[in-house]
Chain A
Amino acid sequence: MSEYREIIIDHYKNPRNMGELAGADKIVDEANASCGDLIKIYVKLAKGKIVDMKWQGIGCAISTAGASMLSEKVVDMSKTDLEKFGEEGVVSMLGGEIMPGRMKCATLAFRGLLKVFE
C-alpha cells in the first residue's frame, strides 16, 4: 500500500486547482480508455510557458493526486521543461514509487499536458 502516502491522500481529498479556467488558451481532454478515468485540462500560456492550469476529472486517488500536484508544479514550464520533467518527474513528485499497473493513473494529467503543446 506504499502508494497511499500522506501527500497523495492530502491531494486526493483536497485537490488543488480543480475547476474551469476562464479565458484558457488551451483546453485538452485525456482519458485512460481501459479504466474510465477522464481529465479535462485548462491552461493559460504566455511566451510558450504555462502560466496557469486548472483541471476537472474523474479518477482514482493516484490520478487525482497526480493532476493536483502537477497543476502546482507546471506553472512557468515550457514544452521543453515539461518533456525534461517526464514521467520520472511525475513518479518522483508522487513520492518515488508507483506500481507499474498504476503508471497510467499517475501520468494521466501529464499526458494531457503534453497535448497542450501539440
Chain B
Amino acid sequence: MKYLKSVGMENIHSHEKEILKYALEKMRGLEKEGLVILYGPEAETRGGAIPFNVVGVHAHDTAQILDSFGIAVRSGQHCAAPLVTSFGVTAMVRATFYLYNTKEEIDYMIDKIREVPKVFA
C-alpha cells in the first residue's frame, strides 16, 4: 500500500487507462485484419483487460505460444463460464495491463500475436 500510495492511485488509474486505450487500438487493428476476435466494450467503459481469441486457434494454444515469447496472458473460462460461453466460445485469452506495463510491451505483444497462427500453418 505504501508503494501504491507513493505512486498515487490517480496516476495508476490514468496509466492503466492510457495503456488499455493504446492496446485496444492496436488490437482493433488486428481485428480488422481478421487475425483476432475481441470481446467486451470500448476503452471508456472497461477495466484494464482485453479478452480475445486468435482466429482458428484455441485460447490455451495461444496462451502457451505467447508464453514462449515471455508474454503472460491467462486462458480458459476465467472463473466466469456463463459469461465466456455467452459469447459463443468455450474459452478466451485475456491480456491484462497495470502500472508496470509499457507501450513497448504492447507493441511486442501485438507483434507476437501475429506469430501465433503461423505455428499451425
Contacts and interface: CB of A to CB of B under 8 A. Distances in A.
Interface of A: 1, 3-4, 9, 12-13, 33-38, 58-62, 99, 101-102, 105
B75 A4 contact: no
Interface in B71-86: 75-77, 79, 81, 84-85
Interface band, chain B: 10 to 19
Interface of B: 58-61, 64-65, 68, 75-77, 79, 81, 84-85, 90-91, 119-120
A101 B76 CA distance: 12
B65 A36 contact: no
Contacts of A61: 58, 61, 120
B59 A60 contact: yes
Contact of B58 (A9, A59, A101): A59
B119 A1 contact: yes
